[in-house]
Structure 1
């Protein structure tokens, strides 16, 4: 009689595991600041503003990012990218060290997405426009396609750009659209008669797009050696570390330059506040311009790029807020 195959024993998914999979340390820059900017920009444009709706929009951003973080961990574990050998932080590699059932983790990621969807629908109903719903649907589609399917986006050189556009541009754009649509109710479901300064809007969203892309670029550069064996063709893998590091440093400088440009031209009264905030971020700038982006410095590099998110994008948000005074 043939022996039955051993059954894998998994640990129950605990609240602590759920929090670690959501990765709250990644929320301040990509989720919170983008939503804060969306609200401040809407106020600067004279659109109707609701604190309650803004809080729901913040929940959309936080839960959407929690879904991204959770589904990415699930996909990396399934692909064999995350192992004990190359994951030295138990709080970051929950599936590796805590051994929850991968199916439960997948359900958790989808649950985070569902909460974001519910909060988003409430905001869309308040706005009276279907445009934010379309923007949200596009974002949700890319979130799912980023880490799942036969050809996930994270396995191609488009990962930095896609994550930057979805989290850095679509989220604040949808926020602004919701407040604008409520201000101009005659627009209809798909109409957009409210005035839009597209150059100003695109310019102000550019730092947020770059910032999210830089987070992914930091991670992908430090993970080159573990991405190659599993067939990941990320941008750093395609370029090679030496050229990828050069491109990385160019974008650090470009990021700061665009923040200063937007603060000066669009929120001139708060330009000084942006400059002061950037001075406090000089340590992060120095680190990002000198880090070799290897696996050995992955932790400090991720910490530095998160600080840069707070100081760089925070400088633009602060300039916009001061300009309202």
Structure 2
């Protein structure tokens, strides 16, 4: 992460005090990765039968709590390992710039996990206790993403794990708790969603490439180099849209899902911004645009499924 003056970083990122300190800790631009899969999985279930709104809200809350806790573990362990400093870009900065005690962040993450577990118990009582096994495994990998002896985020597998667990697994669970089954079609629909979520992690690693390399990480972005990593991200976007087109053509997705292609300009904006930026601060808009691309695609896909149930 390129070093700049501390005051410049805070000004450039427009970091404010008070509630904003805790809001930044959640890394809100990434929370789309937990909302979108729950929404899509639930809308897929709605195309088959009516959905239980309470279950939907419980699943949404649990998913967002787990991701928020994962972000907090990331903040805590990167600080402990000396990877984050007061000049680091792309972090909440709650510890290094706002002075919040690291133990407070760790304890808050564990509290979020605890609340998610309670919500998970309710979900299991309404569906199946097998969800508990899957949920606990997902939480374990959420911790291991930046915790443990070999953090997943420090390897070339970060994008694959985040896409699979946040995309495929969450969509599958969201659908299953409403219908009591899991179909091949649901798994196929999760593929483009997983690619977009993996893209969020990829854009993060492109932005942090130089700093991560200095600290011994081996992400895909580092292995490919910046230019090829941007091409790889573009390839992920293209693959997601091609997969969507195939699923529409095959009848797995309704024709209404063609509206998801309205998000293409935002994906193009991401690649353009990365190609014309050279520092982490300059790449922040590209990172934000990646999250917005996922949001636009996911919301439009979910809406297309909702519309198809009535027309």
Quickly name the TM-score band, shorter chain normalised. Answer: 0.7 to 0.9
Is the contact between residue 38 and residue 176 of structure 1 (CA under 8 Å) also seen in structure 2? Answer: yes
2:5 paired residue number: none
1:174-185 alignment runs, 5 A limit: 174-181=173-180
Cα distance in 2 between the residues matched to 1:232 and 1:136: 28
User: Which of the pair has more CA radius of gyration?
Assistant: 1
Q: Tell me which residue corresponds to 2:60.
A: 58
Please state if 1:268 is matched with 2:254: yes
Structure 2 residues not aligned, in runs of 5+: 1-16
Aligned residue among 201, 204, 215 for 2:189 = 204
State whether residues 71 and 147 of structure 1, in contact with CA within 8 Å, keep that contact through their aligned partners in structure 2: yes
Is 1:31 equivalent to 2:34 in the alignment? Answer: yes
The question of 1:140 aligning with 2:139 is answered: yes
CA contact (8 A) 1:252 1:289 kept: no
- Aligned to 1:230, which of 200, 209, 215? 215
Alignment TM-score, normalising by the size of structure 2: 0.86
RMSD: 2.1
Displacement of 1:45 = 2.5
- TM-score in terms of structure 1 length: 0.83
- Once the two structures are superposed, residues 14-55 of structure 1 have per-residue CA deviations (whole angstroms, 9 ceiling, x without a partner) of 75433321223322x212221111111112233x62111111
Give, in angstroms, the shift of residue 203 of structure 1: 1.4
* Separation (CA, whole Å) in 2 of partners of 1:138 and 1:146: 12
> Does the 8 A contact of 2:42 with 2:51 survive in 1?
yes
Q: Which residue of 2 aligns with 1:5?
A: none
| More relative contact order, 1 or 2 (CA 8 Å, 6+ apart) | 2
Q: Give the whole-Å Cα distance in 2 for the aligned partners of 1:72 and 1:61.
A: 17
Deviates more, 1:294-303 or 1:229-238: 294-303
Structure 1 runs not aligned, ≥5 long: 1-12, 182-193
Q: What does 1:57-136 correspond to in 2, within 5 Å?
A: 57-87=59-89, 92-127=92-127, 129-136=128-135
Q: What SS does structure 2 have at the residue aligned with 1:266?
A: coil
Give 2:10's aligned residue: none
| Paired residue total | 290
Please, which moves more after superposition, 59-68 or 257-266?
257-266
TM-fit CA distance, 1:235: 1.1
Q: Which secondary structure state, in structure 1, belongs to the residue aligned with residue 261 of structure 2?
A: helix
Measured in 1, the distance between the counterparts of 2:201 and 2:269 equals 17
The CA deviation at 1:201 is 1.6
How far residue 268 of structure 1 moved from its aligned partner, in angstroms, is 2.4
